[in-house]
Amino acid sequence: MCGIIGYVGTHQAVPILLEGLRRLEYRGYDSAGLAVAGHAGIQILRAEGKLVNLEEKAYGTPLPGVVGIGHTRWATHGAPTEANAHPQVDATGTVAVVHNGILENYAALRAELRSAGVELSSDTDTELIAHLLGREEGPLLERVVRVLPRLEGQYAVVAMSTNAPDELVAFRQGPPLVVGAGDGEMLVASDVTALLSRTRRVIFLEHGDIARLGRGGITVFDAGGHPVDRPIETLDWDAARAEKGGYRHFMLKEIHEQPDAVRNTVLAYLDAERRGINIEGFGFDPHRLEKIRRVQLVACGTSWHACLVGKFYIERLARLPVDVDYASEYRYRDPLLGHETLVIGVTQSGETADTLAAMELGRRAGAPLATVCNVRSSSAWRLAEARLLTQAGPEIGVASTKAFTTQLVALLLTALALRRVRGLDDARDGELVAQLQRLPLALEEALGVPDELYRRGVDLITASADSLYLGRGMLYPIALEGALKLKEISYLHAEGYPGGEMKHGPIALVDDGFPVVAVAPRTPAREKLLGNLREVRARGAAILAVAEAGAAGLDELADLIVPVPDVDPLLQPLVTVVPLQLLAYNVAVELGLDVDQPRNLAKSVTVE
């Protein structure tokens, strides 16, 4: 979703803003802009489409100044035109704002400003904030304090004014904002990836916070304008981890980072001897956990697929019933919740609006609340009482890969922890822990498949506008995830289905050359899946199977087998998803599409 960057310092602002925007591109956007406070007042540049359009304008129109704000816009109110791009200014051109979020009282504010004679120049809700601030008097901070009660909805805003051209005021209610304290320069951004090249000392603003940034420092206030204490944290992510490192795309780099990401996540939660898990590392209160009778997993997108696998892990190992819900549905369905339900929000970014709202429901009901999250200090991180950090590092490709596999590991470790708390652990746990430590090697092996196989896979998939991905048991979520990866980056329609359900509808789609992707490693249910494959084969389907090499019965059925190592059944979801990620990647590259920033998608959906 929209990306925000702000800079106050001693260097020229434009190149710093453009670099910040470049690093925010991955969030998804369709127009971009920046504003700089200089001798000529506030000057603005905006452009439709990709950042390169804004950069071209910036080269042709020097905007001197050492204070500025920038924005990548993912359209909500109004089309992605230049007029609707941010920054938006007030009627006098003395206040400029950038904004991420949605004002719910947009219509009422618009009508009110119009009847007061204000001419609106865009369709955005953001422009209304600029006018409201412009119509107040006094220092920008005081204006913000007066305007805040008038704004309903979710927003993260950075404002600048010609009255105090050396400062920025940032405020948030919902979408995240992080401020960075550099050397004689202060920055603010939607997420840390935009700040890392200039500072690793940051403050994550809380819901309702207002921050004033000047060259000399940052002061944080509550919504009433009273100073509040917010600690500066030093991040351990470095800028290089958010670079492509020689790979053609971030997604490919992140696919190949999975062995390390998984290794780091496993090791973070093992005891000193690495023979069992370290329950204390999870931050759960054991007394609260003993009372748990069920588990509720909430998430969106790929993280929701991880939860579907997590259900198998927790039910099988900890013998607790698990419900999995889309956070966007859960938050509105008046769920049954109480002290006996452990609620776990699973989220790469920790900022997905629906997941946060679902977690908040749990908190209000007094449920023990945990998160599996990839971003320390994110909103989900701060909301939860127990946190499992997936050690994937920054994930830039919009299509999630290494975050997914580390989420699976984190949920497996959670299942082992719950098993221990419930006194169900036995000698087999040690064997599973040993297998988990060997998992990075299995992932390396899955990554080592020759490109030639993927070239044949690409031909098979691109022969049709649709395809069907089949799996059973805990590999059904992997079929869903494989299909989602393909849709996200290749714009080809794909559907994931449990093999046993195929005869209840999808088989009607199958005709000559229709691609069916089978997630088919050795499991007790494989014979059943082979039965499904025989049925689609008889109707002309082209079959691509993911299975261990030499899988009996598959050779004669499948057009192509992408081999994966033979691992413990609980680890099969991890090794089988890798070829599906690479298949989607190769299809998108072959079709010449923007792998890392697919159209219309946002990396982190921070509004409903």
Please state the separation of Cα 394 from the chain's center in Å.
Answer: 10
Helix (H) or strand (E) holding 432: helix 427-447
Closest CA to 47 of 58, 32, 30, 34: 32
Q: Which is nearer to ligand G6P, 27 or 46 (CB)?
A: 27
Number of residues that bind ligand G6P (CB under 6 A): 15
Report, in Å, the least distance between residue 349 CB and ligand G6P.
Answer: 3
Q: How far is the CB of 558 from ligand G6P (least distance, A)?
A: 29
Distances (CA, A) of 157 to 224, 229, 286, 439: 16, 20, 40, 43
Binding window for ligand G6P (CB under 6 A); candidates: 50-58, 198-206, 299-307, 516-524 = 299-307
Please say if 2 is a catalytic residue: yes
Residue, CB closest to ligand G6P: 301
- Of 70-78, 96-104, 343-351, 550-558, the segment contacting ligand G6P by CB under 6 A is 343-351
Q: Which is nearer to ligand G6P, 190 or 400 (CB)?
A: 400
Which of the residues 345 through 374 are near ligand G6P (CB under 6 A)?
347-349, 352, 355
Strands of 41-48's sheet in order across: 41-48, 31-38, 67-73, 3-8, 186-189, 178-181, 201-204, 233-234
Region from 91-99, 188-196, 209-217, 341-349 binding ligand G6P, contact rule CB under 6 A:
341-349
Which listed residue (113, 151, 383, 398) binds ligand G6P by CB under 6 A? 398
Residue 206 burial (10 A CB sphere; 0-12, 13-18, 19+): middle
Q: Are 133 and 160 in contact (CB under 8 A)?
A: no
Nearer to ligand G6P, 302 or 523 (CB): 302
> Do the bridges between strand 186-189 and strand 3-8 make them parallel or antiparallel, or are there none, so unpaired?
antiparallel
Q: What is the distance between the alpha carbons of residues 379 and 352, in angstroms, rounded to a whole number? A: 9
Count H helices and E strands in the chain, helices first: 18, 24
Structure tokens belonging to residue 188:
């603010």
460-489 exposure pattern, b = at least 16 Cβ within 10 A, e = fewer:
bbbebeebbbbbbbbbbbbbbbbbbbbbbb
Q: Cα separation of 140 and 162, whole Å?
A: 10
Q: Of 517, 603, 496, nearest to 559 (Cα)?
A: 517
Cα–Cα distance between 225 and 208 in angstroms, integer?
10
Amino acid identity at 300: C
Burial environment of residue 435 by CB neighbours within 10 A (0 to 12, 13 to 18, 19 or more): middle
Among 300, 433, 494, 580, binds ligand G6P (CB under 6 A): 300
In the complex, the smallest distance separating the C-beta of residue 352 from ligand G6P, rounded to whole angstroms, is: 3
Query: Could you give the CA distance from residue 533 to residue 546 in angstroms, rounded to a whole number?
Result: 13
523 binds ligand G6P (CB under 6 A): no
Contact range with ligand G6P by CB under 6 A, out of 117-125, 202-210, 244-252, 597-605? 597-605
Tokens describing residue 571: 């680890």
Shortest Å, Cβ 600 to ligand G6P: 10
Q: Which of residues 271-290 bind ligand G6P (CB under 6 A)?
A: none
Asked whether position 302 contacts ligand G6P by CB under 6 A, the answer is: yes
**Whose Cβ is closer to ligand G6P: residue 122's or residue 349's?**
349
Nearer to ligand G6P, 349 or 532 (CB): 349
Please state, as a whole number, how many other Cβ atoms lie within 10 Å of the Cβ of residue 340: 12
Name the pairing type of β-strands 186-189 and 168-173: unpaired
Residue 194 Cβ vs ligand G6P, minimum distance, rounded to whole Å: 17
> Least distance (Å) from ligand G6P to the CB of residue 395?
8
Which part of the chain contacts ligand G6P (CB under 6 A), choosing from 38-46, 55-63, 93-101, 344-352?
344-352
Closer residue to ligand G6P in complex, CB, 335/397: 397
Rounded least distance, CB 228 to ligand G6P, Å: 27
Q: How far is the CB of 602 from ligand G6P (least distance, A)?
A: 6
Q: Which is nearer to ligand G6P, 433 or 492 (CB)?
A: 492
Q: Per CB under 6 A, does 400 bind ligand G6P?
A: yes
Options 126, 391, 414, 604; binder of ligand G6P; rule CB under 6 A: 604
For this structure, is 307 an active site residue? no
Q: Which residues contact 594 (CB under 8 A, 6 or more apart)?
A: none
- 120-152 burial string, b = 16+ CB within 10 Å, else e? eebbbbbbbbbbbbbbbeeebbebbbbbbeebe
Toward ligand G6P, which CB reaches closer, 131 or 603? 603
Question: With CB under 6 A as the contact rule, which of the stretches 138-146, 217-225, 295-303, 565-573 interacts with ligand G6P?
Answer: 295-303
Indicate whether 190 belongs to the interface with ligand G6P (CB under 6 A). Answer: no
603 touching ligand G6P, by CB under 6 A: yes
2, 300, 307, 373: the active-site residue? 2
Q: Which of 413, 261, 411 is nearest to 345 (CA)?
A: 411
Closest contact distance (angstroms) between CB of 477 and ligand G6P is 13
| Residues in contact with ligand G6P by the rule CB under 6 A | 300-303, 347-349, 352, 355, 398, 400, 601, 603-605
Which residues form the catalytic set? 2, 603
